[in-house]
Structure 1
Amino acid sequence: MKQMGSYIKDLIAEGEHQRLDFKFEISDSKKIARTLAAFANTDGGRLLVGVKDNGVIAGVRSEEEYYMVEAAASMYC
């Protein structure tokens, strides 16, 4: 089985596309909900939080961002 780190790096190397979106930071749960809903209404997708648009891994700065994604999914999707 492929290690998670190399799997994530492979995803980032693909770049953003219809089924893969990068978010550097989470500041608005409604915007995240729109992304999640778009994925749900098509063929699915992956949202990588803590990754800049150019593919640089910045990391997640706080647990609050994690909870905002979780809240967006439960409240709006």
Structure 2
Amino acid sequence: MITFNTILAQTLAGTVIEIIVLLLVAGMIGYFTSYFYYRGIYRKKIHKLESDLKDLQIRNDGLLDQIIKLEKELEKKKK
């Protein structure tokens, strides 16, 4: 294994392969770091937006019920 590493270190192809491997590893580290960082940040925002959505859906249901009630009253007054 040591001879393989020394042969790779002495050739141009070996250095290119080493650079590519190091860049791939650095990219993977950066990707996973940003993924876990932003997951923590956006999880809070998503939770807040979901609770706001539930509140708005409840409010919307109440308004739809009021519309139905007012339409029935309007029909009664027209008759």
TM-score category of the 2 structures, normalised to the smaller one: under 0.3
Higher-strand-fraction structure: 1
When the two structures are superposed, what TM-score results if normalisation uses the length of structure 1? 0.21
Higher-helix-fraction structure: 2
Compare CA radii of gyration and give the structure with the larger one. Answer: 2
When the two structures are superposed, what TM-score results if normalisation uses the length of structure 2? 0.20
Higher relative contact order (CA 8 A, sep 6+): 1
